[in-house]
Amino acid sequence: MSYLPQLRASLVEAAARQRDAALELPGRAAATGRRRRRSGHRGRVVLVTVALVLLAAAVALAATGIFERGTPVGPRVPPSPTTQDGAALPGSARLLPLRVADPGGGAAWGLRVVRTTRGLTCIQLGRVGFGTVGVLGQDGAFGNDGRFHPLSDDYLAGLPLGCSVTDTRGNAFQNVLVQAVPASGLIGGPASVGGCEEAHESYSGPRRETCPAVDLRDIYYGLLGPDAVSITHLTATGALATTPTTGADGAYLVVLPHTTPACVTIPAERHARAGRPRPQRRICPSSGQQATGGPAVEPGAIRTVTYRDGHTCHSPPARLAARSPGCPPVGFVSPPAQPVTAAQLAAPITVREIPGRVYCGSRRGELIEPCGARTPRGFKRLAGGPPSLLVEVSFSSRIAIPDSHSYYSFGVTGANSPTCTINSGQFGSTDSDIRVGARVSQRFLIPYSCPGVAHGTVSYVPTTGPASSMSVVGLPGQTASIPVGQFSFDVP
């Protein structure tokens, strides 16, 4: 018995109509033409009626069409145009003509590029539908509603390492590897969206349901710039394939079934120095969704990048990544650095100690302050660290920081003490636009276990290379930092 007998009958009727039309002889067709001309008015009425019926049918089909569009995936907090990655520039979002099949079938994967108010180019990764990228309501996401949930233009923070500095020719160079992505395409996103994740060790317990292994993907994607012409990469079968990059962006996208990192067996230690000999142990690396990225190609599945001038860069497999760096960006044209000197930047630094027993941090992480029994609205209690002193360092900026191409960094060297658990290093950085003369401040916690005088430095860091958007000192693409001033404070 047919599953759709009405469809079958309609098709057979349509086949009969086709046959009849084909059998119509030229002479008969001419006669029919004459008849049609004579009955033109009635013909038009019939045509209009048919058109209306078809229109109604089309509307009905559209209403039941595939993936009704679901609620968009947006950031937890609306982005500020002047902080972090900034906000999407209106009209800048562009779906790249790149489609890659999912190992499980269904909607293709694709990339969308968005420019931001802070001079960054961000890549959005997702399943393709409705002319954009988004998340499918499956794998626990959106209650498995089966709908297509487009990523909002501003959904940037949920996409790890997806933003990078735009060069003077408007190109960006960014390479990302995201592991254990559910086939739904949901990366990050608020917990209320649901979704699933790979089983992993977590101190706070699993936040989401566990994905079946077959529904997880490892995804390599990025922008290699206009000079890249192709990549050679591993496929799901383990074979190598060569795929041309797409457009002037030099975009690529490789979607593979997720590979769980291998567990390591540590043999029994027969001659332990102290205590009982240890039995054989099996240690499995903590997994779960992880992302790495930067201007260089992520080692792993991408094995070569071939450029327009014929040269080929070889990228190492993951197991050799420590010994050999990935392919560096080619063709980046640095935006002009702000011509500033140490003398122009120098500013007196103020330090304020704000003692407290308990501290609260704002949910966006930009402010820490002492709090009592009650947690202020928009804040969460900071717990788990050692008893600490809150220190605020501030100064007036002598120059403007108009975008993400530069930032201020705060470094502290802890007092030399056997109880001190902190080392010297970067204790924070600005991550926003700053006007000339604006007060810049940074707060950080110094453990009371580091008593004595601590010294610190404020530096200005220009980012003119093909860097990612993170304001962390020492990442590729940064030029030498310039000192702004020094400070010190006493930890009781």
Partner 1 sequence: MAPDLSNAADHDLLVLAGENPEAFGVFYDRFEADVLAFFWRATRRADLAADLTGEVFAAALESARAFRPELGSARGWLFGIARHELADTWERGRVEDRARRRLGLEPVALDDEALVRIDDLGGAVTGDALRLLERLPEDQRAAVEGRVLEERDYEELARTLSCSESVVRQRVSRGLRSLRERLEQTR
Q: Which residues bind partner 1 (CB under 8 A)?
A: 2-4, 6-8, 10-19, 22, 50, 54, 57-58, 60-62, 64-67, 69, 99, 105-108, 127-131, 138, 146, 148, 214, 235-241, 257
Which residues are CB-contacts of 205 (< 8 A; sequence separation ≥ 6)? none
C-beta of 256: minimal distance to partner 1 in Å?
10
C-beta of 65: minimal distance to partner 1 in Å?
3
> In this complex, which beta carbon is closest to partner 1, that of residue 106 or of residue 288?
106
Which residues are CB-contacts of 187 (< 8 A; sequence separation ≥ 6)? 125, 158, 159, 160, 178, 181, 289, 291
**With contact defined as beta carbons under 8 Å apart, do 360 and 368 qualify?**
yes
Q: Residue 66 carries which side chain, given as an amino acid letter? A: I
**With contact defined as beta carbons under 8 Å apart, do 487 and 455 qualify?**
yes
> In this complex, which beta carbon is closest to partner 1, that of residue 125 or of residue 401?
125
Distance CA 470, CA 189 (A): 19
> In this complex, which beta carbon is closest to partner 1, that of residue 6 or of residue 341?
6
C-beta of 468: minimal distance to partner 1 in Å?
31
Q: Catalogue the E-assigned strands of 5-93.
A: none
Q: Is 466 exposed, middle or buried (0-12, 13-18, 19+ CB in 10 A)?
A: buried
What is the number of other CB atoms lying within 10 angstroms of the CB of residue 361?
A: 17
C-beta of 150: minimal distance to partner 1 in Å?
9
C-beta of 18: minimal distance to partner 1 in Å?
7
**With contact defined as beta carbons under 8 Å apart, do 103 and 422 qualify?**
no
> In this complex, which beta carbon is closest to partner 1, that of residue 127 or of residue 443?
127
> In this complex, which beta carbon is closest to partner 1, that of residue 306 or of residue 463?
306
> In this complex, which beta carbon is closest to partner 1, that of residue 107 or of residue 291?
107
| Tokens (6 digits) for 174 | 């960014």
> In this complex, which beta carbon is closest to partner 1, that of residue 2 or of residue 423?
2
> In this complex, which beta carbon is closest to partner 1, that of residue 62 or of residue 383?
62
> In this complex, which beta carbon is closest to partner 1, that of residue 45 or of residue 268?
45
C-beta of 137: minimal distance to partner 1 in Å?
11
Distance CA 408, CA 338 (A): 14
Q: How far is CA 63 from the centre of its chain?
A: 32
C-beta of 116: minimal distance to partner 1 in Å?
26
Q: What is the CA radius of gyration of the chain?
A: 30
Give the residue among 491, 423, 411 at the shortest CA–CA distance from 454. Answer: 491
C-beta of 17: minimal distance to partner 1 in Å?
7
Give the residue among 422, 426, 415 at the shortest CA–CA distance from 481. Answer: 426
C-beta of 20: minimal distance to partner 1 in Å?
9
The SS3 call for residue 420 is coil
